[in-house]
């Protein structure tokens, strides 16, 4: 039975690859990338062993190992969505012993690039002690325990939280809320490492403490053996064993609950009084499209995810620029992201797009309505960002060029997206899915066209941004006014061209767009 489950996972992987050549390419690339990282890790670990500095080895291995375990435990909940190919609820109707299911799902978790890489990494961690046979052996045992903690913990957490995560409201809100601190982790670490030598000095002590936690205990085993601290090593072994026992217990209980749970389940029913934006916009097709888009900007977490990156951008620029003039560019970056986010608009409609095809909505009406909603939301967010960074940096003298640049870039982005999204649709998370999950069938081809589109967009934005930078640096009034004029002018032109050209494309290809979207389902 255990072998069956592993084989099932392999078959699913193989069949997934059969569906598209691009998936094979993507897999090969991720394998190469993983091999590259593994190579680096192995070289680093061997060097660490040769260096003969036990404290350094302990710090590096324990902290990196603890991060690895934490990643396995937490990331599936928010970032990638849960690996649903072997969702326990799919085995509800089969007569499989729970013990077999536990073992099989654990081993199946190692199939795939991340699992295999973790397995190799766990074994390789022992190389940090290659000069000491006893510690090397302990490292292998610790590595095995660490990998087990990764995989079993990941299953335990996802299975336990599945009913929570499965609720529509929770999934939508939590995913957006949880991702923000995760994205901030990078800049925070950056700030910490760049500014504070003290943190680096404290790392060894942190390593010792983390070594006693469930996250770090397996990885600290070998270091204790190396030090001859047998009692401490025994302690680490106990912590690791207890962690695994608790995880298996938790998973076992969650699994037995999952196997008898009825699918779906009634949750909170969302209501909204009255017609909302539909009552406030003009009663025309364009007004209706704009009202619908705005409602979605507020109600659909996939759109909220685009807004969620805004604070991240601001903080990132603040860290990188150390509070200097670079921060003033935050509004422009936000405008770029918000403008381009509209390029997925028809893709986000999913098959509900048929409503527009059947009505039929005129191409220009569709484009203009969506652009209007995008400009309203984007304009509000960009203005708020501009005011924030101008206030924080106290550079009110740069108000005119900053507004000219950011609003211009937003309008150019919306215009370019109006053309792009009438030409191409691509797989995005379905309505109601985790907004950060990677959809089936997204491919290199999509990434290429997206990159190309953004590149073109950058080129169109260049004049206004170049002028704006010059105006902010020199403070010359003529340049400031010129930035405002060029920014707003190019933005307005891009909007008109985007709605016209996009509308024409849309009129010719709307049924084909719908057919492509249906083929993703």
Binding site for other proteins (CB under 8 A): 168, 269-276, 278, 283-285, 287-289, 291-292, 295-296, 299-300, 349-352, 354-362, 431-432, 511-512, 514-515, 518
- Nearer Cβ to other proteins, position 176 or 210? 176
Instruction: Report residue 161 as tokens.
Output: 């939280």
- Nearer Cβ to other proteins, position 464 or 513? 513
Instruction: Calculate the CA dihedral of residues 31, 36, 42, 47 and round it to 10 degrees.
Output: 180
User: What gap in Å lies between CA 22 and CA 26, rounded to an integer?
Assistant: 6
Contact, 495 vs 411, CB < 8 A?
Answer: yes
State the minimum distance, in angstroms, from the CB of residue 293 to other proteins: 10
- Nearer Cβ to other proteins, position 284 or 438? 284
State the minimum distance, in angstroms, from the CB of residue 355 to other proteins: 6
| Rg for the chain, CA atoms, rounded | 27
* Three-class SS state of 130: coil
- Nearer Cβ to other proteins, position 100 or 500? 500
State the minimum distance, in angstroms, from the CB of residue 169 to other proteins: 10
- Nearer Cβ to other proteins, position 46 or 357? 357
- Nearer Cβ to other proteins, position 294 or 334? 294
State the minimum distance, in angstroms, from the CB of residue 438 to other proteins: 20
CB-facing half-sphere around the CA of 125: CA atoms within 13 A: 32
Instruction: Report residue 453 as tokens.
Output: 């589109």
State the minimum distance, in angstroms, from the CB of residue 441 to other proteins: 15
User: What gap in Å lies between CA 447 and CA 31, rounded to an integer?
Assistant: 18
State the minimum distance, in angstroms, from the CB of residue 276 to other proteins: 7
Which string of b and e fits 21-36 if b means at least 16 CB within 10 Å?
Answer: eebeebeeeeeeebee
State the minimum distance, in angstroms, from the CB of residue 340 to other proteins: 22
Contact, 319 vs 401, CB < 8 A?
Answer: no
Which string of b and e fits 248-271 if b means at least 16 CB within 10 Å?
Answer: bebbbebbeebbeeeeeeeeeeee
- Nearer Cβ to other proteins, position 44 or 276? 276
């Amino acid at each position: 039975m255990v072998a069956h489950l592993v084989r099932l996972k392999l078959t699913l992987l193989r069949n997934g690859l059969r569906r598209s050549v691009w998936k094979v390419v993507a897999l090969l690339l991720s394998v190469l990338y993983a091999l590259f990282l593994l190579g680096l890790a192995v070289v680093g670990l061997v060097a660490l062993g040769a260096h003969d500095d036990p404290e350094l080895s302990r710090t590096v291995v324990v902290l990196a190992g603890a991060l690895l375990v934490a990643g396995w435990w937490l990331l599936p909940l928010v970032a990638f969505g849960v690996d649903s190919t072997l969702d326990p609820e799919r085995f509800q109707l089969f007569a499989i012993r729970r013990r077999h299911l536990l073992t099989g799902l654990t081993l199946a978790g190692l199939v795939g690039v991340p699992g295999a890489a973790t397995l190799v990494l766990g074994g390789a961690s022992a190389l940090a002690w290659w000069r000491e046979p006893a510690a090397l052996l302990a490292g292998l045992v610790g590595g095995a325990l660490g990998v087990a903690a990764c995989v079993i913990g990941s299953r335990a957490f996802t299975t336990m939280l599945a009913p929570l995560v499965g609720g529509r409201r929770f999934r939508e809100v939590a995913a957006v809320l949880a991702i923000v601190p995760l994205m901030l982790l990078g800049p925070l670490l950056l700030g910490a490492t760049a500014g504070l030598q003290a943190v680096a000095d404290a790392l060894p002590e942190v390593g010792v403490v983390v070594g006693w936690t469930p996250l770090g205990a397996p990885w600290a085993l070998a270091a204790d053996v190396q030090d001859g601290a047998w009692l401490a090593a025994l302690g680490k072994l106990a912590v690791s064993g207890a962690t695994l026992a608790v995880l298996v217990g938790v998973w076992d209980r969650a699994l037995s609950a999952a196997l008898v749970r009825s699918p779906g389940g009634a949750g909170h029913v969302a209501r909204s009084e009255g017609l909302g934006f539909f009552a406030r916009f003009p009663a025309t097709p364009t007004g209706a499209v704009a009202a619908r888009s705005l409602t979605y900007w507020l109600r659909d977490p996939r759109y909220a995810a685009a807004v969620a990156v805004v604070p991240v951008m601001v903080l990132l620029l603040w860290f990188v620029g150390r509070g200097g003039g670079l921060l003033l560019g935050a509004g422009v970056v936000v405008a770029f992201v918000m403008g381009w986010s509209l390029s997925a608009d028809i893709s986000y409609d999913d098959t509900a797009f048929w409503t527009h095809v059947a009505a039929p909505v005129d191409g220009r009406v569709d484009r203009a309505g969506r652009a209007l909603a995008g400009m309203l939301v984007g304009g509000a967010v960009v203005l708020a960002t501009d005011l924030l960074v101008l206030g924080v940096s106290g550079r009110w003298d740069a108000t005119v060029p900053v507004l000219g640049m950011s609003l211009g870039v937003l309008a150019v982005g919306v215009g370019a997206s109006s053309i792009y999204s009438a030409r191409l649709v691509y797989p995005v998370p379905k309505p109601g899915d985790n907004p950060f999950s990677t959809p089936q069938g997204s491919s290199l081809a999509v990434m290429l066209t997206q990159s190309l589109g953004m590149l073109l967009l950058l080129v169109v934005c260049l004049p206004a941004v170049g002028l704006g930078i010059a105006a902010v640096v020199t403070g010359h009034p003529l340049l400031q006014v010129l930035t405002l004029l060029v920014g707003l002018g190019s933005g307005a032109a891009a909007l008109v061209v985007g709605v016209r050209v996009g509308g024409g494309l849309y009129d010719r290809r709307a049924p084909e767009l719908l057919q492509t979207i249906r083929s993703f389902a």
